[in-house]
Amino acid sequence: MNFEAVRAIYGFEMARWGRTLMQSILSPVLSTSLYFIVFGAAIGSRITQIDGVPYGAFIVPGLVMLMLLTESTSNASFGIYFPRFAGTIYELLSAPISPFEIVLGYVGAAATKSVILGLIILATASLFVPLRIAHPFWMVSFLVLTAVTFSLFGFIIGIWADGFEKLQIIPMLVLMPLTFLGGTFYSINMLPPFWQTVTLFNPIVYLISGFRWSFYEVSDVHVGVSLAMTLAFLSVCLVIVWWIFKTGYRIKA
């Protein structure tokens, strides 16, 4: 195990984040605050409680998930795409380092950033609404699991993308809609039965539901199912990453 290399990549990626700390933190915090003002304060005041939880508090786990998914994906995808774009990936490929260590460095750094961001957003949210966390252990577990999973997902996109546009497409066209339709702002029980069934095909539903359960013990699907789905998605990403390095897909001629 080449620990020095993992440390080098991790440190390098964290330093990159540190250089742009203001915009990295400010923009997610600002957009989350906007959601709270619009959905929480303006609209939320006209909505009754959902499952016994005030609307403003109800959307907090969904919003944290929304940020977690987009930030993990974009951070990790950019982290590995940029060396490919700039050509500096030659150094990674010629270094005495295994694929596992490369992934550990890049995905570890991306996941760390999004966990920190998630906690900052939670702190921001607590300024707007009273928060209650019923199961802190599971809350943190879901937070970390999701951050790791979607950082892996971002890593895959960063390898797949062959232009800056493609880097944006998946987060914008797939992740964002699925998150909005995945119960960020509502309980899927509020939908007509047909759409409830359709929604169950959206993997993000399980993430948000499980995460929300760790706060308020209310959920759209059973928390065990949520956990299983999260782990399943994590496994799928791991298999794809394994395949990428096995075949050298888009990184090695």
**Using rule CB under 8 A, residue 243 touches other proteins:** no
Based on CB atoms, which residue is closest to other proteins, 95 or 176?
Answer: 95
Please pick, from the candidates 21, 22, 46, 87, the single residue that binds other proteins as defined by CB under 8 A: 87
Q: Least Å distance between CB 88 and other proteins?
A: 5
Query: Could you give the 3-state DSSP secondary structure of residue 50?
Result: strand
Stretch that binds other proteins, among 48-56, 85-93, 172-180, 237-245 (CB under 8 A): 85-93
Instruction: Pinpoint the alpha helices (H) of the chain.
Output: 3-19, 21-35, 55-86, 89-94, 99-128, 136-160, 164-170, 176-180, 193-199, 203-216, 223-247
Cα-Cα-Cα-Cα torsion 202, 203, 205, 207, nearest 10 degrees, comes to: -170
Q: How many CB atoms lie within 10 A of CB 56?
A: 20
**Using rule CB under 8 A, residue 31 touches other proteins:** no
**Using rule CB under 8 A, residue 197 touches other proteins:** no
Stretch that binds other proteins, among 46-54, 60-68, 70-78, 86-94 (CB under 8 A): 86-94
**Using rule CB under 8 A, residue 163 touches other proteins:** no
Please pick, from the candidates 21, 22, 52, 86, the single residue that binds other proteins as defined by CB under 8 A: 86
Based on CB atoms, which residue is closest to other proteins, 19 or 46?
Answer: 19
Based on CB atoms, which residue is closest to other proteins, 82 or 180?
Answer: 82
Stretch that binds other proteins, among 24-32, 87-95, 171-179, 205-213 (CB under 8 A): 87-95
Contact set for other proteins, span 94-133 (CB under 8 A):
94-98
**Using rule CB under 8 A, residue 168 touches other proteins:** no
Cα radius of gyration (the chain): 19
**Using rule CB under 8 A, residue 244 touches other proteins:** no
Which residues is 53 bridged to in the sheet? Answer: 50
Q: Least Å distance between CB 196 and other proteins?
A: 46
Cα-Cα-Cα-Cα torsion 144, 175, 27, 82, nearest 10 degrees, comes to: 80
User: What burial letters (b/e) apply to 92-107, b meaning 16+ CB within 10 Å?
Assistant: beeeebeeebbbbbbb
Q: Least Å distance between CB 67 and other proteins?
A: 24
Which residues is 50 bridged to in the sheet? Answer: 53
Query: Could you give the 3-state DSSP secondary structure of residue 53?
Result: strand
Q: Least Å distance between CB 39 and other proteins?
A: 36
Q: How many CB atoms lie within 10 A of CB 37?
A: 13
Q: Can you give the binding site for other proteins, defined by CB under 8 A?
A: 2-5, 7-9, 11-12, 15-16, 19, 83, 86-88, 90-98, 248, 252-253
